[in-house]
Amino acid sequence: MDLDFLKNFTKRMKNIGSYGLLFKNSILKGTWKQYGIDTIFEQTNLIFSVLLYIMEQSLKDEPCTMDDIGNFIDVINITWFKKSLSYDQCKELGEFIVNVILCDEGRAMYFQGFDYDEGDYKEIHISFIGNRVVYINGDVRRTSYYLTDDGYNLVLSTLEIESNMKLTIQEMIFKLQMEKASYDKAVDTIKNIFNLLRIQLQKIQEAMRRIRQNALMFSVAEYSQILEENLITIDETKKKFAGYKEHVRKLVEGLEEQDIQIEKLGQIDADNLKYLKTIEDYINRALDEYQKILSSHFDLKTMYTKELESLSQMSLIKRFSIRNDLYEQVLKEADNLDRLDIFLRPLFNQEVDKTYHIGKAFEYQRTINPREDEESEILEDFDDEAWLEEQKLKLEKRLRVYKDSLLCILQYVFQYKKLTLGRLNQVITNEERSILIPNLEIFREIMVELIKNRIFIFDDLRKEREEHFTDRIDGFQINLCLLELIEDEAGFKHVKSLEVTRVDRNIVEFLNVADENGHMKKIRCSDVVFSLE
Q: Note the pLDDT of residue 70.
A: 95
pLDDT category at 377 given cuts 50, 70, 90 is very low
Residue with the larger pLDDT of the pair 258 and 495 = 495
Q: What's the pLDDT at 511?
A: 83
- Which pLDDT does position 25 carry in this prediction? 92
Per residue in 12-47, pLDDT (tens digit) is 898 899 999 999 999 888 899 999 998 999 999 999
Q: Report CA-CA distances (Å) from 69 to 55, 61, 72, 92, 144.
A: 12, 15, 5, 10, 10
Average pLDDT over the chain reads 82
pLDDT greater than 90 at residue 93:
yes
- Whether residue 198 contacts residue 210, with contact meaning beta carbons closer than 8 Å, is answered with no
Over the stretch 289-319, which tens digit does the pLDDT of each residue have? 888 888 888 889 888 888 888 877 766 666 6
Q: Averaged over 138-147, what is the pLDDT? A: 89
**Mean pLDDT calculated for residue range 61-75:** 93
pLDDT the model gives residue 1: 64
Candidates 38, 48, 39, 98; CA nearest to 76 is 48
Q: What is the DSSP string of 428-482?
A: S-HHHHHHH-SSHHHHHHHHHHHHHH-EEEHHHHHHHHHH---S---S--HHHHH
Residue with more model confidence, 526 or 88 = 88
User: How far apart are alpha carbons 482 and 462 in whole angstroms?
Assistant: 11
* CA angle (210 as vertex; 204, 211 as ends), nearest 5: 90
Among 474, 469, 450, which Cα is nearest to 525's? 450
Considering only residues 125 and 488, tell me which one the structure prediction assigns the higher pLDDT: 125
pLDDT at 265: 64
- In what helix (H) or strand (E) does residue 415 lie, and over which residues does it extend? helix 370-416
Task: Please name which of 528, 529, 500, 525 lies closest in space to residue 511, comparing C-alpha atoms.
Answer: 525
pLDDT, position 439:
85
Asked if residue 98 has pLDDT above 80, the reply is yes
- Report how far residue 97's alpha carbon sits from residue 440's, in angstroms, rounded to the nearest whole number: 66
Overall average pLDDT of the 347-365 stretch: 69
Amino acid 264: pLDDT: 60
Distance CA 33, CA 82 (A): 15
pLDDT in tens, 379-396: 444 445 666 677 778 777
- Residue 416 predicted with pLDDT over 90: no
The mean pLDDT value for 187-215 works out to: 86
Confidence band for 492, pLDDT divided at 50, 70 and 90:
confident
Least confident piece of the model among 239-253, 310-324, 489-503, 513-527 = 310-324
CA atoms within 13 A on the CB side of 244: 30
pLDDT of res. 372: 47
Number of Cβ atoms within 10 Å of the Cβ of 39? 9
Average pLDDT for residues 249-271, to the nearest whole number?
73
Using CA atoms of 375, 378, 384, 386 in order, give the dihedral in degrees to the nearest 10. -100
Q: Is the pLDDT of residue 263 over 60?
A: no
Q: What is the pLDDT of residues 431-480, one digit of tens each?
A: 888 888 888 888 888 888 888 888 888 888 887 777 654 545 567 788 88
In contact, 42 and 97? CB cutoff 8 Å:
no
Whole-number percent of the chain with pLDDT over 90: 20
So what's the pLDDT on residue 369? Answer: 57
H or E stretch covering 252:
helix 220-258
Contact (Cβ atoms closer than 8 angstroms) between residue 498 and residue 456: yes
